Chains A and B, each alone.
Chain A
């Protein structure tokens, strides 16, 4: 808030700043804003290179060679990512609409109980859930995906509800006051403004799922956990080392990608 003269001065200097940014080029300003995003992949690449060098100096027996063959690794990685992706998409499809429903006026009363149940589900150890579900239903990918989905539902549900709650009431009133229907207000004002918070919840769910998917191999759903099991069964320390490194790398990279996506969304929605 300022008086007439300072306002004009402000706008002039703003224009100057904008022109300056254009001169510097988009790349430079992007780098300045987001250079921190480059640090994590850098560290990961260095550590992976170190591991590869170490493995390269070892004499691998035929069993180790077979387990660590690129084909085998790629197929397990594929299964792993499929499990994580599918369960996260299910979480998105279930938790976001549910969260939106819970934040509607008519459903405000059940919001507390539902979130409490969600919190309870969150407290259950995912491994236990997976095993119990496998015995209750059957072993395999479907059960694993359902288990992962349940375990990661809450962060997204809670963030959707909170994200919608924290939308400034006066904006909703302004929207209604201008003649937006409640549906238009929801999809043009409330949800877009809640997106950063919802995306943060999705990121948590995704990372959770990538980690928990390691346990899916115990109920026969494959994934990188398979590598760990093989290493333990065959008592091959080199394989275990590589398995651990790959699992950690995948988790970190997925989190990083989600972080980049989150930043893009937040920048877009102002």
Chain B
């Protein structure tokens, strides 16, 4: 957020190039009958095309904040700007038609077919039938559901994961620049959730929406978020990139919230491609030189299959495990634990050995490549 801190907080000039799509200024919410604000004096800027994860314990105000952006909950004080336009006092219903909204389990209408569910907002916006139909098919395709199979079905005929995909498709229907997602994957089983998250990121790469995403799952926040906003009882405690949240929590609350698993979670943010790996030899003649470089035996296509020589250890006892260069350190650790190996061969796209990562590297400090952050 450092790059936006010095930006003007006054009303922007028409046409002024501002990169923040969602801007909250001094937003506050006090529920009737309560003295404690649910959200107090919140300033937040969500840059165009980014996914911001709102996370925190229950009752921290993350959902209230999300719902104030589309004014499902009316803020008590402060201003909300979308694409430089003050929307604090515009007609809420019309505003919400311009903002995608996804809730837990999709919130699909059981008495509408899948196509009709997707067509809800376009219909309200007065699109003609043909256009709504084409859009529904296009979106079903985008979320990986075959239109001819699914468009005439009803939500109860779909699995939870499929319903959630339709929920995302429905939010995208009128191509809104902003999407709000309220724990969309919360009630989905872990395996399906993981896949939905991957697909969601894939879709986001195509559509490039500005997204505010409420979750209670730190893993999800780290995986999906360009930025993470950590909330505590109505206050924004830290708003930063996932890596910073994990490595440099702003205060005790954030570090408590990030919790003991932070060091492990951080591993999933470290791409293997960015690391300085130990060299690996696949040449048979290298066996003799005993210079501390592990030597792997390769098959015909150059893929390492077993260790021929390992410095300081007997090669026969250690299985050769591999991890793709496109993975993260988390994946490498997973593979090592799984195979009871103290080192792992990192392989490139063709499956050829690119380097070695030792178990000891994890505690000895990982070296990133020169020139990389």
Give me the interface of A with B, judged by CB distance under 8 Å.
Answer: 1-4, 7, 10-11, 14-15, 170-171, 173-181, 184, 189, 192-193, 269-270
- Taking CB atoms, residues of chain A closer than 8 Å to B81 are none
- Taking CB atoms, residues of chain A closer than 8 Å to B150 are 11
Kindly state the interface size class of chain B when it binds its partner.
35 or more
Q: How far is the CB of B153 from chain A (nearest CB, A)?
A: 8
Contact bitstring B116-151, A, C-beta under 8 A = 1, else 0: 000011001000000000000000000000100110
| B319 within 8 Å of A (CB atoms) | no
From residue 78 to 126 of chain B, which have CB atoms closer than 8 A to chain A? 93-99, 101, 103-105, 107-111, 120-121, 124
| B278 within 8 Å of A (CB atoms) | no
| B35 within 8 Å of A (CB atoms) | no
- Taking CB atoms, residues of chain A closer than 8 Å to B160 are 1
Q: Check if A170 sits within 8 Å of B103, measured CB to CB.
A: yes
Q: Check if B109 sits within 8 Å of A189, measured CB to CB.
A: yes
Q: A1-B192, A2-B161 given. 18 additional CB < 8 A pairs?
A: A2-B159, A3-B191, A3-B195, A170-B104, A171-B109, A176-B96, A177-B72, A178-B96, A178-B120, A178-B170, A179-B96, A179-B121, A180-B120, A180-B124, A193-B110, A269-B111, A270-B111, A270-B156
**Other-chain residue from A2, A4, A14, A178 in contact with B157 (beta carbon distance below 8 A):** A14
Of A3, A178, A189, A270, most buried by chain B (CB within 10 Å of CB) is: A178
Give me the interface of B with A, judged by CB distance under 8 Å.
Answer: 70, 72, 93-99, 101, 103-105, 107-111, 120-121, 124, 146, 149-150, 154, 156-157, 159-162, 170-171, 180, 188-189, 191-192, 195
Q: How far is the CB of B31 from chain A (nearest CB, A)?
A: 15
- Taking CB atoms, residues of chain A closer than 8 Å to B97 are 178-179
- Taking CB atoms, residues of chain B closer than 8 Å to A15 are 149
Q: Check if A170 sits within 8 Å of B105, measured CB to CB.
A: yes
A176 to B71, CA, bound (A): 10
Q: Check if B195 sits within 8 Å of A193, measured CB to CB.
A: no
Of A15, A179, A193, most buried by chain B (CB within 10 Å of CB) is: A179
- Taking CB atoms, residues of chain A closer than 8 Å to B108 are 174
Known contacts A14-B157, A177-B101; A7/B96 CB under 8 A: no
CB-CB nearest in chain B for A183: B93
**Other-chain residue from B70, B72, B107, B192 in contact with A3 (beta carbon distance below 8 A):** B192
A217 to B77, CA, bound (A): 66
- Taking CB atoms, residues of chain A closer than 8 Å to B162 are 7
Q: 18 A-B pairs, CB-CB below 8 angstroms?
A: A1-B159, A1-B161, A1-B192, A2-B192, A3-B195, A11-B150, A15-B149, A177-B70, A177-B96, A177-B103, A178-B124, A178-B170, A179-B94, A179-B95, A179-B96, A181-B93, A189-B109, A269-B111
Q: Check if B107 sits within 8 Å of A1, measured CB to CB.
A: no
A177 to B120, CA, bound (A): 11
Q: Check if B124 sits within 8 Å of A10, measured CB to CB.
A: no
Q: Check if B103 sits within 8 Å of A11, measured CB to CB.
A: no
Q: How far is the CB of A90 from chain B (nearest CB, A)?
A: 28
CB-CB nearest in chain A for B157: A14
Q: How far is the CB of B62 from chain A (nearest CB, A)?
A: 16
A173 to B156, CA, bound (A): 19
- Taking CB atoms, residues of chain A closer than 8 Å to B98 are 179
Q: Check if B188 sits within 8 Å of A171, measured CB to CB.
A: no
- Taking CB atoms, residues of chain B closer than 8 Å to A7 are 159, 161-162
Q: How far is the CB of A96 from chain B (nearest CB, A)?
A: 18
Known contacts A3-B192, A15-B149; A178/B159 CB under 8 A: no
CB-CB nearest in chain B for A173: B103
Q: Check if B93 sits within 8 Å of A179, measured CB to CB.
A: yes
CB-CB nearest in chain A for B189: A1
A2 to B93, CA, bound (A): 36
A202 to B252, CA, bound (A): 60
A102 to B108, CA, bound (A): 26
Q: Which 10 A-B pairs have the closest CB atoms?
A: A174-B107, A179-B97, A179-B96, A177-B101, A1-B160, A181-B93, A1-B189, A269-B111, A270-B111, A179-B93
CB-CB nearest in chain B for A3: B191
A231 to B345, CA, bound (A): 101
CB-CB nearest in chain B for A192: B111
